[in-house]
A and B are shown apart, each in its own frame.
Chain A
Amino acid sequence: MSQAILQMQGVSKTFPGVKALDQATLNVYPGEVMALLGENGAGKSTLMKVLTGIYHADSGSIHYFGSPMTFAGPRDSMEQGISIIHQELNLIEELSIAENIFLGRELCAKGGRIDWPAMYREADKLLAHLKVGRSSREQIKALSLGEKQMVEIAKALSFEAKVIIMDEPTDALTLQETESLFKVINELREQGRGIVYISHRLSEIFQICDKLTVLRDGEFIAEREVAEMDEDAVIELMVGRRLDEYYPTVEASQGRVSLKVDKLSGPGVNKVSFELHEGEILGFSGLMGAGRSELMRLLFGDTRKTAGSVSLYGETLNLNHPSQGIAAGISYISEDRKGDGLVLGMSVKTNMSLSALAALSHVGGHIKRGEEAKQVARFIDAFNIKTPSEEQIIGNLSGGNQQKVAIAKGLMTEPKVLILDEPTRGVDVGAKKEIYELINQFKQRGMSILLISSDMPEVLGMSDRILVMHEGQISGEFDVAEATQEGLLAAAVGRNE
């Protein structure tokens, strides 16, 4: 076994009210991909931020190529050959792809003038390597979430780093994007670089990683060879107990038709028709950009329809604004919690109650604080949200816990129709199961649920019926009993059998 390039030992870090890291340990080996695993809030991102000098550890040591090292900040660690793709996107929307990739180290010609042609050329090369079909002159804000993530990856690769850290890189990626990322990871491995790979998708761990390190509540639990493990064993290390049955399907008696959509058209959506019943989970599968989120935004009143009709319990809906959607009983939980799902600077409590505030206040607008606190506490408890208090700024929570708050926000309005857009993105296995159980509870109470997910096993495991979308249209409908991954995929690319 080769010597580790990077060793972090006994690293501890405390935030006000939270012990994020408690004697954590991590080794990175050349030419190997090290998976860093743990539940939401286990301290994975924090450990990486300590490594790259964003946070300073309270104690512990870092050895880099055998010698003790502390990095003064992200810039310093980058120059020493450690490059990181953060869980949160850090791109400047108004700048071009190339400007973002080379931010702060623009390629200069003689005399300090920026060498634009060279910069675009280099950036285009990186994009082509990752198979991103964009010119590096395009602005970030024109990109999809997945493409933005790919730009972050391109940026990390542009450093020629010796250690590359990827914090949940595939969270927002399409299948193809994930594949091209994996190809690049394999190349990096062959070049002898050390890679740290953080993900909640266990299948990816088995696909791409060589070793794995598990953290639990900030503590180091184990370092293992991936080849010696199976999923159940990994989960047991992560949560400290066995988890059975990921997708706890429950039978709920399906009631009346709640939502009826008839030849609905609008931005990115073309003549979509379907019916949704009480107590039903209707899954939406498809490739990214197939128009699923667009359809949901249309149903929710965020964009306007150009043709067709939508009715809820027989009542025709003409929604012009999300507020009307919520008032009508439709709640939408966005796929992009940082961008448009949460107000990151506000507390857990105020985020969670934001949508339901109308119901939680008197006619004059006076908030019933006691009632609010009670509701929030109930959801924090039911969702097992890890936060020192409900007053914690939500941006300080781990990604998975943020997601739970976002879902709780939608549920607090007691909607008739709940739209979940990628509800378990970035959520750990244990919490995923908790979320599934909660969704099922609401289903049993007669709520109608639309579930969009790019995670095939999730759609297959949770839905009663699945619709597949392709280029804004429904390209397939499956009863869950007869649906297969292959069938869904075929419909997703528009191939109809």
Chain B
Amino acid sequence: MNTVKQPTAVSGKPKVNVAQWLFEQKALIALLVLIVIVSFLNDNFFTTHNLLNILRQTSVNAVIAVGMTLVILTAGIDLSVGSILALCGALAASMVAAELPLVVTICGTLLAGCAMGMFSGVLVAKGKVQPFIATLVAMTALRGLTMVYTDGRPISTGFTDAGDAFAYLGTGYLFGIPFPVWLMVFAFAGAWYLLNHTRLGRYIYAVGGNEEATRLSGINVDRVKIAVYGISGLMSGLAGLIVTSRLSSAQPTAGAAYELDAIAAVVVGGTSLAGGRGWIIGTLIGALIIGFLNNALNLLDVSSYYQMIAKAAVILLAVLADRRSK
């Protein structure tokens, strides 16, 4: 023996132990337990109709949470999502009312959302403003802009062919599944691909883990940050399209406090607010937990006051369970 011995590998390549893996997914277990318990308590819960309903209701928060996950992975936070949702919704509603082609409305709205997000991104990256402050500024300014633009009144999408076509986004079904659910699945699939298979995804984790090391590795950290806030804005724009389409009108107050549910979904899903650690599927599970819980509490006739407390308790439990396993 002349070479240096390798450390004795106890199990070689770590084997994927399914049972153990499942056990570590505290959020997933919580979700399953929740579903089982409520199914026993209420017969109307575990029905196709209700489940699809829950998925549809969850889709808006889930789509926003996708963008929020990316931002939080870079150790940032995005408070402006609700305001972007509202302004994008208003823009979309007026475009539909003006009977622009649907493609133009959708692309225009998404681009607008992306641009609004990038504005915060530039503040954070180039202006060195803390994410909390930068997006707080954006949140306030954009809500104000929405009020100015709508004059504080809802904008109807109108009873035209364009209005009907637009309504499909939020109310239509594809293969028996609500269209917003498809959008949600699409958003998660895209984010999963981004995080696991692309350069930008790697950079997002790296920036959150150690920004300085990432910069010295030759990565343009500013661009990564602008990109994540841009994507978060885009997702909020998409959420704005869904909400506006579903109601056939844009409410100037839409999306208020949505950032909190989105952050909750991300955190319940196991992503660290300190950045650099987390996964997108966790966020989906987190969003579903919150969605299922809301629905279950409604079905069980729990008053909305208690609902808030229950929701807080679930978030706390999820986060504590996650702490424990670290």
Contacts and interface: CB of A to CB of B under 8 A. Distances in A.
Interface in A63-94: none
Contact of A346 (B4, B8, B206, B219): B206
Interface string A337-366: 001111111100010011101100100111
Q: Which of B199, B209, B216 has the most CB of A within 10 A?
A: B216
Given A323-B220, A355-B218, A218 B4 contact: no
B47 interface: no
B205 A409 contact: no
Interface in B190-226: 197-200, 202-203, 205-206, 209-210, 212-220
A391 interface: yes
B252 interface: no
Contacts, number: 120
A141 interface: no
Nearest to B5: A217
Interface string B155-198: 00000000000000000000000000000000000000000011
A240 B205 CA distance: 40
Given A17-B9, A350-B205, A386-B6, A355 B197 contact: no
A366 B197 contact: yes
B66 to A, nearest CB: 18
A369 interface: yes
Interface in A277-329: 302, 321-323, 325-327
Interface string B274-299: 00110000000000000000000000
B209 A344 contact: yes
B14 interface: yes
Interface string B3-47: 011111111111000000000000000000000000000000000
B325 interface: no
A14 interface: yes
A18 B276 contact: no
Nearest to B219: A323
B48 interface: no
B212 A340 contact: yes
Contacts of A325: 218
Contact of A367 (B2, B202, B213, B215): B202
A133 to B, nearest CB: 26
A388 interface: yes
A367 B203 CA distance: 12
Contacts of B219: 322-323, 354-355
A3 to B, nearest CB: 33
A59 interface: no
Nearest to A428: B4
Contacts of A39: 4
Contacts of A357: 199, 202-203
A389 B277 contact: no
B218 A361 contact: no
Contacts of B1: 240
A343 to B, nearest CB: 4
Nearest to A339: B212
A350 B218 contact: no
A52 interface: no
Given A18-B7, A326-B218, A354-B219, A365 B209 contact: no
B210 A17 contact: no
Contacts of A323: 218-220
Contacts of B12: 17, 388
Contacts of A391: 14
Nearest to B223: A323
Given A321-B220, A366-B198, A14 B213 contact: no
A322 B199 contact: no
A345 B277 contact: yes
Nearest to B276: A345
Interface residues of A, number: 52
B213 A342 contact: yes
Contacts of A388: 7, 9, 12-14
A343 B214 contact: yes
A249 B14 CA distance: 40
A22 B11 CA distance: 16
Given A19-B8, A350-B202, A384-B4, A334 B13 contact: no
A369 B202 CA distance: 12
A340 B7 CA distance: 28
Contacts of A217: 5, 7-8
Nearest to B218: A326
A388 B9 CA distance: 6
Nearest to A388: B9
A41 interface: yes
Nearest to B275: A345
Given A19-B8, A239-B4, A354-B217, A343 B199 contact: no
A39 B199 CA distance: 35
Given A357-B199, A366-B197, A369-B197, A334 B216 contact: yes
Contact of A344 (B198, B202, B210, B218): B210
A239 to B, nearest CB: 6
Nearest to B8: A19
A123 interface: no
A343 B7 contact: no
Given A19-B7, A367-B197, A389-B14, A343 B218 contact: no
A369 B198 CA distance: 10
Contacts of A361: 198-199
A389 B206 CA distance: 20
A302 B1 CA distance: 46
A20 interface: yes
B217 A367 contact: no
A341 B206 CA distance: 12
A341 B4 contact: no
A241 interface: yes
Interface in A209-240: 216-218, 239-240
Contacts of B13: 17, 388-389
Contacts of A332: 216
13 contacts: A17-B11, A216-B5, A239-B4, A326-B218, A339-B213, A345-B210, A346-B205, A346-B206, A367-B197, A367-B202, A384-B4, A388-B12, A391-B14
Given A19-B10, A354-B219, A367-B199, 10 more contacts: A17-B11, A241-B2, A325-B218, A340-B212, A343-B206, A343-B209, A345-B277, A354-B202, A357-B202, A365-B198
The 6 lowest CB-CB distance pairs between A and B, nearest first, are A326-B218, A343-B209, A340-B212, A365-B198, A343-B210, A365-B199
